[in-house]
Amino acid sequence: MVINQQNLDSLYHGYSAAFNKAFNDAETNYPKIAMTVPSSTRETTYAWMGQIPSMREWIGDREIQNLIAHDYTIKNKTYELTTRVPVNDIADDQYGIYTPLVQEMGLSAKKHPDVLTFDLLGKGFNEKCYDGKAFFSNEHPMGNDNKTVQSNKGTKKLCAASYTEARQALMTIKGDSERTLNIVPDLLVVAPQNEAIARELLFADLIAGTSNTNKNTCDLLVVPELTDYPDQWYLLCTKRYIKPLVYQEREKPKLVCKNKETDDNVFFNDEVLYGIKARYNVGFGLWQLAYGSTGEDAAETATKG
């Protein structure tokens, strides 16, 4: 290929098409547990977080629901990925060997929110959510008095008994009005190390010769990004408009390049640079929609907390 600006621009458009196709074709898991919230500033404060509105009988005047103000802010972060293509490879018509690399860049850009989302889920036993408690905690305050507490945390390994306890814990969580929030868990999330027991728990007809009463009670999601949290498991309610986690998007990933013959990288280093820039972040949504267990204790002897 003759090295001129027209050909370099044409090559960029070809790489862009490959990047965009790989990006659009890639499947992600984060939308299953995180709601996407557009962002137009450096950070967004979710003052309404913690409120699940519920209907009541109209007796007397309307009752304006008392929204508790929370200062829960998610700050956007900037992410990048950059690679180089030697000008000599372009001149020698070897630029096609870099197409798979550009496609992998598209895949990486699309899957990166998965990495952030599930890493945050794994850290949920220590990282704080909107009420100042760890996302998975046995000390979440109910309402304004901060005296009545509820728990969405366990320590038992995944088994039929601990799974049943988790379902009961989520389905009995109450709101500020001390009425049930009608939460029904629909997704069990595990690391690859827990896949076998999770599949038996949800899909087997019999477990140890006994009828499996938990069969088909929810869907299963096995997440490679949770490999560093092998014992933890999570039961989530994901069918509502608000989800357990938040994916906050400021700028979508985009492929750009420095391919001008007068650019320093071309002039001094004889290479064209291709890079991705994006701005976004993840945060916690409603703890009421999630139950997490550390999996550190045997099911027969463990206790909550």
User: For 61-112, what is each residue's pLDDT tens digit?
Assistant: 766 555 555 678 999 999 999 999 999 999 988 889 999 999 999 999 999 9
Could you tell me the pLDDT band of residue 161, with boundaries at 50, 70 and 90? very high
Q: Who wins on pLDDT, 1 or 59?
A: 1
How far is 279 from 283, CA to CA, in rounded Å? 14
Write down the pTM of the prediction. 0.90
Backbone angles phi, psi at 281, to 5 degrees: -165, 170
Could you read off the pLDDT of 22-72 as tens digits, one per residue? Answer: 999 999 999 999 999 999 999 998 877 766 666 666 777 766 555 555 678
How far is 53 from 36, CA to CA, in rounded Å? 20
Q: State residue 300's pLDDT score.
A: 62
Q: State residue 144's pLDDT score.
A: 59
Judge residue 260's burial from the number of C-beta atoms within 10 Å of its C-beta, 0-12 exposed, 13-18 middle, 19 or more buried: middle
Res. 175: pLDDT tops 80? yes
Q: What phi-psi label fits residue 37: left (phi over 0), alpha (psi between -120 and 50 degrees) or beta? A: beta
Q: State residue 63's pLDDT score.
A: 61
Question: Residue 218 in contact with residue 183, Cβ under 8 Å?
Answer: no
How far is 219 from 234, CA to CA, in rounded Å? 12
Q: State the angle between helix axes of 5-25 and 99-122 in degrees (0 to 180), rounded to the nearest 10.
A: 40
State the average pLDDT over residues 281-304. 85
Question: Residue 142 in contact with residue 294, Cβ under 8 Å?
Answer: no
State the average pLDDT over residues 213-231. 97
Domains of the chain: 5-51+69-297 (3.90.1690)
What secondary structure does DSSP assign to the chain, as a single string? Answer: ---SHHHHHHHHHHHHHHHHHHHHH---SGGGTEEEEE--SSEEE-TTTT---------SS-----PPP---EEE-EEEEEEEEEEHHHHHTT-GGGGHHHHHHHHHHHHHHHHHHHHHHHHTTTTSB-TTSSBSS-S-EEPSSSS-SEE--EEEEPSSHHHHHHHHHHHHT-B-TTSSB------EEEE-GGGHHHHHHHHH-SEETTEE-TTTTSSEEEE-GGGTT-TT-EEEE--SSSS-SEEEEEEEEEEEEEE--TTSHHHHHH-EEEEEEEEEEEEEE--GGGEEEEEEEE-TTT----
Token couple for 248? 């906050």
Q: What is the average pLDDT value for the chain, to the nearest integer?
A: 91
Residues 6+ away with beta carbon under 8 Å from 120: 127, 245, 282, 283, 284
Length of the chain: 305
Judge residue 294's burial from the number of C-beta atoms within 10 Å of its C-beta, 0-12 exposed, 13-18 middle, 19 or more buried: middle
Q: State residue 280's pLDDT score.
A: 98
State the average pLDDT over residues 286-302. 87
Q: State residue 265's pLDDT score.
A: 94
Q: What phi-psi label fits residue 33: left (phi over 0), alpha (psi between -120 and 50 degrees) or beta? A: alpha
Share of the chain above pLDDT 70, in %: 91
Question: Residue 160 in contact with residue 201, Cβ under 8 Å?
Answer: yes
Could you read off the pLDDT of 263-286 as tens digits, one per residue? Answer: 999 999 999 999 999 999 999 999
Q: State residue 304's pLDDT score.
A: 44
Q: State residue 47's pLDDT score.
A: 79
